[in-house]
């Protein structure tokens, strides 16, 4: 388990000081994948640097399994870093070491005997599916394979927390999918708390249990992935949902965004149409499975005068409905 | 110069005797350059790593120490070797007890060589992507382990390339040092070839110097390729179709 407690990082002093992380507060349970998303400049890389203890926070704490890692001296800090495995965007593999020698690196630093090292490295490469590439140098591996070596290296010292800093950015979709799959398996097997920092929303939807949106060093919004996806008023939910193709509503028609999850029966559109006594038009829709649950979003069009009757009917059918034009204003106000 | 010529028997060395003159001289040159380079590597590598890590972005950035050290190195680099050699004669005598011969030549050569090599090492370390050091630190490496495995080990091909250049420069310096009686090929070239117009000796020394430098360069290049896994591959790939 890892916990950030009022984590703050300020660069510079006095008038020129910039607050890059502003009292971040969240917790990742064992076996949970927590994604942090945000535009560049939001503080994502500083967050990664601070959690991996490469940078000391200005104030606040990083607590792993109950131990405060921020209060440590240089030597203890070195030991503490071993509880957090880090995967970097640039795989950071050493060009003059083979895959196996790269995985062995943290074990060498720790002073593990060569015999034990060999056993552990073989085990790790086996786990990430690269036993056959043990003797290959980084330049002989594909991007996805290199990142797998990076993951094996991050796991060498059996950390309880895995930090993935843009770990899939720059990989092709197939490699991304395989890395995502591997991370989920590892989470299940090892009970890892995974902090997944990224700007790629589609990867988050495939992977995360919970998501936070970082904006100007603050958590602007956070929640369980499924809750966010089915909340039409959520800015983060909107970012996470893939863009939905569609057509604009005709003049005089009211457009309504709806979203729903698996517990809503599939014939909701027909039922609501019947109940309201008018045909609802579908302007655009997308239905997909997230973590085994159906998540659907649609934009409907109906005669504007039906508004008063339609919205309660949609709510009664179990859908979240949100007229377009009265745009997610409440949520935005909370952010600002 | 003419006085010096007058003091020597103005007579060319007979051709069969040239090897007896040149071979020991080559030995002296190699000895001088060998000792110097050993000292240069021993001091230059840690010093280069120190300068690199004192700079902003290094492991222990320290503006004042970095600037001071950088200045000292730049001064060592900016003096022409002949001037440096003359200027530090008191220091040389303090260390070696003499101001002529191989020991006396090794001192200024080492100083010039260390200043040169420190910059080469610093530059090589700068070309290593910074993520290697971050990976090492995040993996729990101590500063010494970071420097050794993430910085120096990754920069080895580049450092060896620089070592080649440095060695060749030292061969050149040894010829200049030859003029203060350190012996070696340079000394033979100057006293026999230049001051006595003995063309046969001059030509022999030129051939030997060119051959030595070429050999050092070739060995260096080969070593760099061997130490770079990706270059090793390219060669194998280039050879592959031919042997197949």
**Which residues of chain A neighbour B136 with C-beta distances below 8 Å?**
105, 109
> So what's the pLDDT on residue B168?
95
**Which residues of chain A neighbour B154 with C-beta distances below 8 Å?**
94-96
Task: Assess A90–B contact: CB distance below 8 Å, yes or no.
Answer: yes
DSSP E strands, A70-114:
84-87
Contact A88 B227 (CB under 8 A): no
The residues near A334 (Cβ < 8 Å, ≥ 6 apart) are A221
ipTM for the predicted complex comes to 0.82
Distance CA A124, CA A281 (A): 54
- CATH code given to domain B18-229: 1.10.3720.10
Task: Assess B47–A contact: CB distance below 8 Å, yes or no.
Answer: no
What is the Rg, in whole angstroms, of the alpha carbon atoms belonging to chain B?
Answer: 22
For residue B222, with 0-12 CB atoms within 10 Å meaning exposed, 13-18 middle and 19 or more buried, which class applies? Answer: exposed
What is the Rg, in whole angstroms, of the alpha carbon atoms belonging to chain A?
Answer: 23
**Which residues of chain A neighbour B140 with C-beta distances below 8 Å?**
78-79, 81-82, 106, 109-110, 157
Contact A52 B138 (CB under 8 A): yes
Q: Which of B127, B138, B151 to mutate to test the interface with A (most CBs of A within 10 A)?
A: B138
Block mean pLDDT (10 aa), chain B, length 244: 48 82 90 95 97 94 95 91 89 87 90 95 94 91 95 96 96 84 83 83 90 96 93 69 44
**Which residues of chain B neighbour A112 with C-beta distances below 8 Å?**
none
Task: Assess B233–A contact: CB distance below 8 Å, yes or no.
Answer: yes
Contact A139 B233 (CB under 8 A): yes
Question: B2: part of which helix (H) or strand (E)?
Answer: helix B2-7
Task: Assess A40–B contact: CB distance below 8 Å, yes or no.
Answer: no
**Which phi and psi angles does B121 have, rounded to 5°?**
-65, -45
User: Which token pair is A52?
Assistant: 């991996």
Task: Assess B229–A contact: CB distance below 8 Å, yes or no.
Answer: yes
- Give all strands of the β-sheet with A253-261 in edge-to-edge order: A281-290, A293-303, A253-261, A320-323
> So what's the pLDDT on residue B239?
63
Q: What angle do CA B176, B178, B184 make, to 5 degrees?
A: 120
Fold of A2-229: Rossmann fold (3.40.50)
**Which residues of chain A neighbour B223 with C-beta distances below 8 Å?**
none
Identify which of A204, A121, A127 has the alpha carbon closest to the alpha carbon of residue A156: A121
Question: A282: part of which helix (H) or strand (E)?
Answer: strand A281-290
**Which residues of chain A neighbour B150 with C-beta distances below 8 Å?**
94
For residue B44, with 0-12 CB atoms within 10 Å meaning exposed, 13-18 middle and 19 or more buried, which class applies? Answer: buried
**Which residues of chain B neighbour A153 with C-beta distances below 8 Å?**
135, 139
Q: What is chain A's pLDDT, residue by residue, as a tens digit (336 residues)?
A: 899 999 999 988 888 888 899 999 999 999 999 999 988 888 898 999 898 888 889 999 999 888 888 888 888 888 888 889 999 888 889 999 999 999 999 999 999 999 999 999 999 999 999 999 999 999 999 999 999 999 999 999 999 999 999 889 888 999 999 999 999 999 999 999 999 999 888 899 999 999 999 998 899 999 999 888 888 778 888 888 877 778 888 888 888 888 888 788 878 888 888 888 888 888 988 888 888 888 888 888 888 888 888 888 888 888 888 888 654 433 333 333
Task: Assess A105–B contact: CB distance below 8 Å, yes or no.
Answer: yes
**Which residues of chain A neighbour B229 with C-beta distances below 8 Å?**
95-96, 137, 139
The residues near B169 (Cβ < 8 Å, ≥ 6 apart) are B113, B116
Identify which of A299, A323, A294, A326 has the alpha carbon closest to the alpha carbon of residue A310: A323
Task: Assess A136–B contact: CB distance below 8 Å, yes or no.
Answer: no
Q: Which of A73, A92, A154, A158 to mutate to test the interface with B (most CBs of B within 10 A)?
A: A92
Domain boundaries, chain A: 2-229, 240-335
The residues near B3 (Cβ < 8 Å, ≥ 6 apart) are none
Task: Assess B156–A contact: CB distance below 8 Å, yes or no.
Answer: yes
* Pair A102, A44: CB distance under 8 Å: no
Query: 3-state DSSP: chain A helix, strand, coil percent, rounded to 5?
Result: 40, 30, 35
Domain boundaries, chain B: 18-229
Architecture of domain A240-335: 2-Layer Sandwich (3.30)
Distance CA A32, CA A36 (A): 13
Contact A139 B134 (CB under 8 A): no
Please identify among residues 136-155 of chain B the ones whose CB lies closer than 8 Å to any CB of chain A: 136-142, 145, 149-150, 153-154
CA distances from A328 to A231, A261, B131 (A): 10, 20, 41
**Which phi and psi angles does B39 have, rounded to 5°?**
-65, -45
Nearest to A95 among B142, B149, B229 (CB): B229
Task: Assess B131–A contact: CB distance below 8 Å, yes or no.
Answer: yes
> So what's the pLDDT on residue B152?
97
| Sequence-ordered alpha helix ranges (H) in B79-152 | 81-87, 89-96, 101-126, 131-138, 143-145
Angstroms from A323 CA to nearest CA on chain B: 48
Q: Which of A56, A94, A149 to mutate to test the interface with B (most CBs of B within 10 A)?
A: A94
Q: Is B58 left (phi over 0), alpha (psi -120 to 50) or beta?
A: beta
CB pairs under 8 A between A and B: 72
For B134, name the nearest residue in chain A, comparing CA atoms only.
A54
> So what's the pLDDT on residue B123?
96
């Amino acid at each position: 388990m890892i916990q950030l407690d009022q984590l703050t990082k300020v660069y510079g002093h006095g008038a020129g000081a910039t607050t890059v992380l502003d009292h971040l507060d969240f917790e990742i349970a064992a076996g949970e994948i927590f994604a942090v998303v945000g535009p560049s400049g939001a503080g994502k890389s500083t967050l990664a640097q601070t959690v991996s203890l490469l940078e000391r926070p200005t104030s606040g704490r990083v607590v792993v399994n109950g131990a405060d890692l921020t209060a440590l001296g240089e030597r203890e800090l070195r030991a503490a870093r071993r509880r957090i495995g880090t995967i970097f965007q640039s795989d950071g593999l050493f060009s003059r070491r083979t895959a196996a020698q790269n995985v062995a690196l943290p074990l060498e630093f720790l002073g593990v005997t060569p015999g034990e090292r060999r056993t552990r490295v073989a085990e790790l490469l086996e786990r990430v599916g690269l036993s056959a590439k043990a003797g290959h140098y980084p330049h002989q591996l594909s991007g996805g394979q290199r990142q797998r070596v990076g993951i094996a290296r991050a796991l060498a010292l059996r950390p309880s927390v895995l930090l993935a800093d843009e770990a899939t950015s720059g990989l092709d979709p197939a490699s991304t999918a395989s890395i995502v799959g591997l991370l989920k398996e590892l989470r299940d097997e090892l009970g890892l708390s995974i902090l997944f920092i990224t700007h790629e929303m589609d990867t988050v939807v495939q992977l995360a249990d919970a998501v936070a949106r970082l904006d100007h060093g603050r958590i602007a919004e956070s929640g369980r992935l499924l809750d966010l996806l089915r909340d039409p008023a959520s800015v983060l939910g909107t970012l996470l949902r893939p863009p939905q193709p569609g057509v604009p509503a005709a003049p005089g028609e009211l457009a309504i965004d709806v979203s729903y999850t698996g517990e809503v029966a599939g014939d909701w559109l027909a039922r609501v149409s019947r109940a309201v006594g008018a045909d609802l038009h579908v302007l655009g829709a997308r239905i997909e499975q997230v973590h085994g649950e159906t998540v659907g979003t649609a934009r409907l069009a109906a005669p504007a005068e039906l508004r008063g009757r339609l919205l309660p009917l949609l709510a009664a059918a179990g859908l979240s409905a949100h007229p377009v034009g009265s745009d997610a204003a409440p949520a935005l106000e909370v952010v600002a | 110069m003419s006085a010096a010529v007058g003091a020597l028997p103005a007579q060319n060395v007979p051709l069969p005797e040239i090897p007896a003159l040149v071979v020991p001289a080559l030995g002296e040159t190699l000895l001088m350059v060998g000792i110097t380079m050993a000292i240069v590597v021993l001091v230059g590598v840690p010093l280069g790593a120190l300068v690199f890590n004192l700079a902003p972005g290094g492991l222990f950035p320290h503006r004042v120490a970095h600037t001071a050290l950088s200045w000292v190195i730049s001064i060592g680099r900016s003096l022409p070797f002949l001037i440096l050699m003359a200027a530090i004669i008191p220091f040389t005598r303090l260390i070696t007890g003499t101001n002529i011969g191989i020991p006396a030549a090794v001192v200024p050569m080492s100083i010039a060589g260390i200043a040169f090599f420190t910059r080469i090492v610093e530059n090589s370390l700068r070309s290593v992507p910074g993520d290697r050091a971050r990976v090492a630190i995040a993996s729990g490496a101590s500063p010494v382990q970071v420097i050794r495995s993430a910085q120096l080990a990754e920069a080895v091909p580049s450092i060896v390339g620089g070592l080649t250049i440095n060695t060749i420069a030292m061969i050149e310096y040894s010829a200049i040092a030859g003029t203060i009686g350190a012996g070696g090929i340079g000394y033979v070239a100057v006293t026999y070839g230049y001051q006595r117009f003995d063309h046969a000796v001059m030509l022999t020394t030129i051939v030997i110097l060119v051959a030595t430098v070429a050999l050092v360069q070739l060995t260096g290049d080969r070593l760099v390729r061997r130490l770079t896994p990706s270059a090793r591959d390219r060669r194998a790939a280039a050879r592959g179709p031919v042997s197949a």
